Amino acid sequence: NHIHFGDSDKLKHDRKIHAEEKRNLVNKIEADRQVQERHREEKAQPPAKNDDTLRYKKKEALPSRPYVDPNAPGEGGKAVVIDKDKLSPEEKKKFDDGWQKNAFNQYASDMISLHRTLPDVRDPECKDLKYKDKLPDTSVVVCFHNEAWSVLLRTVHSIIDRSPPHLLKEIILVDDFSDMDHLKQPLEEYVAKLEKVKVVRTKKREGLIRARLLGYSVATGEVLTYLDSHCECAEGWLEPLLARIAEGKHHVVTPVIETINDNDLTLRGTPAKNIFVGKFNWQLTFDWMPRPANYAPQALVEPVRSPTMAGGLFSISREYFTELGTYDPGMDIWGGENLELSFRVWMCGGTLEIIPCSHVGHIFRKRSPYKWRTGVNVVKKNSIRLAEVWMDEYKNYYYERFNYDLGDYGDVTDRKKLRERLQCHSFDWFVKNVYPDLFVPGEALASGEIRSKAKPMCIDSAVDNHNYHKPVNMWPCHNQGGNQYWMLSKNGEIRRDDGCLDYSGGESVIVYPCHGQKGNQEWQYREDNSIYHANTQKCMETSVDGQKLTMKTCSGVDRQIWTWKRKSPS
Ligand code: LR7
Ligand code: MN
C-alpha cells in the first residue's frame, strides 16, 4: 500500500555513493573471509553461555558457523542503539544515506554479524514435536531489487546456518535488475565461496512476480520456499514447514512472520496464542487479523488456517505450484500476487496455513525505497487482473471503489483458462467457507458517495491508521469512489474497510476502527434523506460554506439532506 515513483536524480546520486560503498564492501568481504578462516582453524569454538541466545542443540544436524561474540551489536535479536549525535560527519552521512536508500537503518544492520544469533522464539510445545526423518528438500528463492549487502547476506546466512543441510537443496538469489555495484561482481565472488548458493539475474526490471518465476524455472528442490531479501530465519524454521507439506502437497504454508524493527533491528517472538492470520479488504489490500477462535484447532501449535497470506514468505510443493499455475506473469513490480495465490489455493482445492513453530523475521518498512514504473498504477493493474479471474461478481465491490475506471490491465484469457482447467470453487464459496467474517458490501443498505443537497460536496476521508481520530471533512464530489466511497452496514455503520464514522459529541465526526458495538458508530439513513445518529439524536449537517461536517439538532434544512445510493440487500 505504498506507491512510489522514484526519480532518476536519486539514481545518479545513488551511483556516486556506490563507488565508495563498493570499496568498503570489498574490504568487508575480505575481513569476513579472514574471520571465517580463523574460525575454521579454531574448529568452531564452543558457544558462549548466554541465556537469551539459543545455540544449536543438535550440533550434528546443522552446519558449524563462526563464533560470534554474544556482546556484539544486535546479538540475540537485541536492539542496536546508535547515538547519532556521537557520529562523525562522515558516519552521519552514511547513516542518513542508509535510511534513504533502504527505508530501514542500514547503518545499524552493517554493525551486526551476518551470522548473528536470535532468541529461540518457539513455544515450548514446538520442541517436543518429532518430524519424519525423510522430509522433502527445498530450494529457497530470494528475489531482490537493490538490497543492502548486510541485509541480503544475513538473509542468506540465516538460511544456511539454521537449515539442516540435507533439507536445503539450494539457495537461488534472483537479482531483479539491481543497479547497485555491490550486487554485481562482489556478490558473485562472495557466493562463489558458499556451497549451494547461486545468483540468477533478470535481463530487465521484471518486478518481484516474474523474478519469482525465474527462480522457479531454475529450482530443483521438491519444495519451493520464497523469502524476501531482508529476512532472518529463526531456529527450527524449516522442518515444520516441510513436514506439513510432507503430509499432503496441497498444503501451502507460511512461517510466523516476526517483525525485525526497521530502526534498531530487534527481533522478538510471537507466541502461538497471539498469532495473526491474513485477511483482505475490498481495496484488495492484505492485512492481518487476530486468529479467530474458530480457526484454532485443538492444539496450540497445530497449523492455523489463514484466508490469505502476506505473500513474501511461504513454502509450496514445486509440483503443486506447477499444477496450480505458478504466478500470473502479467503482473508487474509489486502487489496483487499474494491475494491471487491465496484465493487460488483455497478455491482450487488447497489449504493455506501458518505454521506456529516456524518463525522467520522480516524487516517491515514504512515506505518503498525503490523505483516503480512511473505513470502506471501497477498495484491496481495487478489487482484488477486477479479480480477479473478469481472474484466473479464480487469483483464489482472492488471496482465500485474507483467507479469502474479499469484502465488497461492486459489480457487474462490464459488465467481464466487455468481456472477452468483446475475446476475451482467460486469466490462465493471462498467467502462463505474460508472467510465467513468478511464484511460483504452486498449486504450494505446504501453505498457510494454521500452528497450534500446544499452544495456539490461529499463526505471525504481516507481510512487508515494515520487518519483515525481525525475530523471528517467535506470535499468537492469527484465521482471516483476512493475516499468518498462509503457503505451503510446492516448494523448501522457508515464504513469503508475497517474504518467507521464515529461521533461521540462535540463538533466533529471522526473515523475510528469499526467495533461492531453500535453506540457511537450507529447511524440511520432516514426516509427524508437525513443521516441520524441514534445515540445523540443529532443529524449530520454541513457548515454554511459546505466545507465542514458537523452534527446538529435535526431540522430538515438542505444542509442536512444527503444523496446516497440505497441498495436492496442481495
Ligand atoms: O521490482 C521489484 N523486484 C523485486 O525483486 C520489487 C521488489 N522486489 C523484491 C524486494 O527486494 C523484496 O525482496 O521483492 C521483495 C518484496 O518487496 P518489498 O520487501 O519491498 O515489499 P513488502 O515486504 O512490502 O512486500 C509484501 O507484499 C508484496 C506484494 O507484492 C510481496 O508479496 C512481498 O513478498 C510481501 N512481503 C511479505 O510478505 C513479508 C511480510 C510483509 C507483510 C505484511
Ligand atoms: Mn519485504
304 touches 277 (CB < 8 A): yes
Ligand minimally distant from the alpha carbon of residue 309: 1
Q: What band does 269 get if pLDDT is binned at 50, 70 and 90? A: very high
- For the chain, the first-to-last Cα distance in angstroms comes to 30
The predicted pLDDT at position 52 comes to 30
pLDDT at residue 392 is higher than 70: yes
pLDDT at residue 3 is higher than 80: no
* Parallel/antiparallel/unpaired status of strands 562-566 and 446-452: antiparallel
Name which residue leads in pLDDT, 361 or 479: 361
Closest protein CA for atom 35 of ligand 1: 312
Q: What band does 30 get if pLDDT is binned at 50, 70 and 90? A: low
293-302 contacts: CB < 8 A, separation 24 or more?
A: 299/125, 300/123, 300/125, 300/272, 300/273, 300/356, 301/123, 301/125, 301/126, 301/129, 301/272, 301/356, 301/357, 302/356
The predicted pLDDT at position 292 comes to 73
Mean of pLDDT values over 244-266: 98
Residues 6+ apart with CB under 8 A from 425: 346, 347, 348, 433
User: CA–CA separation, 384 vs 169, rounded Å?
Assistant: 36
Q: What band does 489 get if pLDDT is binned at 50, 70 and 90? A: very high
> How far away, in angstroms, is 360 Cα from ligand 2 center?
12
Task: Find out whether the beta carbon of 337 lies less than 6 Å from any atom of ligand 1.
Answer: yes
Mean of pLDDT values over 344-366: 97
Q: Give the DSSP H/E element, type plus range, for residue 396.
A: helix 395-400
Task: Find out whether the beta carbon of 483 lies less than 6 Å from any atom of ligand 1.
Answer: no
Identify the top-confidence range among 4-18, 21-35, 65-79.
65-79
pLDDT at residue 349 is higher than 50: yes
Mean of pLDDT values over 56-74: 72
The predicted pLDDT at position 300 comes to 85
The predicted pLDDT at position 28 comes to 56
The candidate with the shortest Cα–Cα distance to 91, out of 180, 22, 190, 20, is 20
Q: What band does 132 get if pLDDT is binned at 50, 70 and 90? A: confident
The cell numbers describing 271, all together, are 507466541
For ligand 1, mutation pick of 208, 210, 279 (most atoms within 8 Å of CB): 208
pLDDT at residue 311 is higher than 50: yes
C-alpha R_g of the chain: 26
Query: What does pTM read for this prediction?
Result: 0.83
Task: Find out whether the beta carbon of 229 lies less than 6 Å from any atom of ligand 1.
Answer: yes
Closest protein CA for atom 2 of ligand 1: 207
Mean pLDDT, the chain, integer: 89
The cell numbers describing 350, all together, are 488447497
pLDDT at residue 283 is higher than 90: yes
The predicted pLDDT at position 534 comes to 93
ipTM above 0.95, yes or no: yes
Closest protein CA for atom 25 of ligand 1: 312
215 touches 174 (CB < 8 A): yes
pLDDT tens, position by position, 138-164: 999 999 999 999 999 999 999 999 999
pLDDT at residue 170 is higher than 60: yes
Query: Which ligand 1 atom is at minimum distance from the Cα of 207?
Result: 1
293 touches 386 (CB < 8 A): no
> How far away, in angstroms, is 273 Cα from ligand 1 center?
26
pLDDT at residue 63 is higher than 50: yes
List Cα–Cα distances, 55 to 62, 75, 76, 368, in angstroms.
11, 12, 10, 34
The predicted pLDDT at position 62 comes to 74
Task: Find out whether the beta carbon of 262 lies less than 6 Å from any atom of ligand 1.
Answer: no
Q: Give the DSSP H/E element, type plus range, for residue 511.
A: strand 510-513
User: What percentage of residues in the chain have a pLDDT greater than 90?
Assistant: 77
Task: Find out whether the beta carbon of 173 lies less than 6 Å from any atom of ligand 1.
Answer: no
User: CA–CA separation, 392 vs 207, rounded Å?
Assistant: 27
Query: Which ligand 1 atom is at minimum distance from the Cα of 211?
Result: 5
List Cα–Cα distances, 288 to 281, 297, 335, in angstroms.
10, 19, 16
Mean of pLDDT values over 366-374: 89
